[in-house]
Structure 1
Amino acid sequence: MYELHLLVPEDRIESVSDALEALEALSVGVEDADAQTPAEQALFGEPGMPPPREGWQRSRVTALFPDEAAAREASALLQAQDFFDGCSVQDIGPVPEQDWVRLTQSQFAPVEITPEFWIVPTWHEPPAAARRMIRLDPGLAFGTGTHPTTRMCLRWTAGRQPGELGRVLDYGCGSGILAIGAALYGATAVDAVDIDEAAVQSTRDNAMANGVLLNAGLPDLACGEYGTVLANILATPLKVLAPLLCKHVAAGGSLVMAGILSRQADELKEAYAPYLALSVADEEDGWILMTANRPA
Structure 2
Amino acid sequence: MQSARWVELVLRVPEARVETVSDALQALDALSVTVEDADADTEAEQALFGEPGLPPPAAGWRHSRVAALFDTPAQAREAAALLQVQDFFADSVIEGLRPVADTDWVRLTQSQFEPVPITADFWIVPSWHEPPAGAHTVIRLDPGLAFGTGTHPTTRMCLRWIATHGMAGRRVLDYGCGSGILAIAAAKFGASAVDAVDIDPAAVAATQANAAANAVNVRAGLPEAVNATYDVVLANILATPLKVLAPLLCAQVASTGHLVLAGILERQADELRAAYAPWVTLQVHDAVDGWILMTAQRT
- TM-score with structure 1 length normalisation? 0.88
- Larger deviation: 21-30 or 216-225? 21-30
| Counterparts of 1:99 and 1:228, CA distance in 2 | 43
Counting only pairs closer than 5 Å after superposition, residues 13-162 of structure 1 correspond to structure 2 as: 13=18, 15-17=20-22, 20=25, 27-36=32-41, 39=43, 41=45, 43=47, 45-48=49-52, 51-65=56-70, 71-72=76-77, 74-161=79-166
Residues 118 and 159, structure 2, Cα contact 8 Å, conserved in 1: yes
- CA distance in 2: counterparts of 1:4 and 1:41, whole angstroms: 22
**Aligned-partner SS, 2:8:** strand
Stretch deviating more after TM superposition (83-92 or 232-241): 83-92
Aligned residue number for residue 3 of structure 2 = none
Instruction: In structure 1, give the amino acid aligned to 2:261.
Output: M
CA contact (8 A) 1:14 1:54 kept: no
Deviations 1:248-270 (A, max 9, x none): 00010111111122222222222
Once the two structures are TM-superposed, the CA of residue 99 in structure 1 deviates from its matched residue by 0.5
Q: Which residue of 1 aligns with 2:214?
A: 210
- TM-score, normalised to structure 2, is 0.87
The answer to whether residue 298 in structure 2 is matched with residue 294 in structure 1 is yes
RMSD of Structure 2 on Structure 1 (CA):
2.6
1:5 lines up with 2:5 in the alignment? no
Amino acid at match of 2:231: G
State the partner residue of 1:175. 179
1:237 pairs, out of 235, 241, 250, with: 241
Q: Compute the displacement of 1:289 (Å).
A: 1.2
Name stretches of at least 5 consecutive residues in structure 2 with no aligned partner: 1-5
Determine if contact 1:191/1:221 at 8 Å carries over to the other structure.
no
Any idea what SS the aligned residue of 1:245 has?
helix
Q: CA deviation at 1:240?
A: 1.6
For 1:4 and 1:22, the matched residues in 2 are separated by 14
Task: Report the Cα distance in structure 2 between the residues aligned to 1:271 and 1:149, rounded to whole angstroms.
Answer: 20
> Cα–Cα, structure 1 residues 94 and 272, in superposed 2: closer, same or farther, change >3 Å?
same
CA shift, 1:87, in A, is 1.4
Matching residue's letter, 2:227: C
**Mean CA deviation greater in 270-279 or 109-118:** 270-279
**Cα 1:274–1:66 shift into 2, 3 Å:** farther
CA contact (8 A) 1:200 1:218 kept: yes
Matched residue type, 2:177: C
SS in 2 for 1:95: strand
Number of residues of Structure 1 aligned to a counterpart in Structure 2: 293
Cα 1:219–1:77, aligned 2, differ >3 Å: closer, same or farther? farther
Unaligned runs of 5+ in 1: none
CA–CA separation in structure 2 for the residues paired with 1:240 and 1:73: 53
Q: Distance in 2 between matches of 1:27 and 1:269?
A: 46
What is the DSSP-based 3-state SS (H/G/I as helix, E as strand, rest coil) of the residue aligned with 2:101?
coil
| 1:273 positional shift | 1.8
The more displaced of 208-217 and 267-276 is: 267-276
Percent identity reads: 65
Is the 1:166–1:187 Cα contact (8 Å) retained in structure 2? yes
| Distance in 2 (alpha carbons) for counterparts of 1:162 and 1:125 | 26
Q: Given that residues 47 and 286 in structure 1 are in contact (C-alpha distance below 8 angstroms), is that contact kept between their aligned partners in structure 2?
A: no
Q: Deviations over 1:193-218 (max 9, x none)?
A: 11222211111111111111111111
Whether contact under 8 Å (1:117, 1:130) holds in the other structure is yes
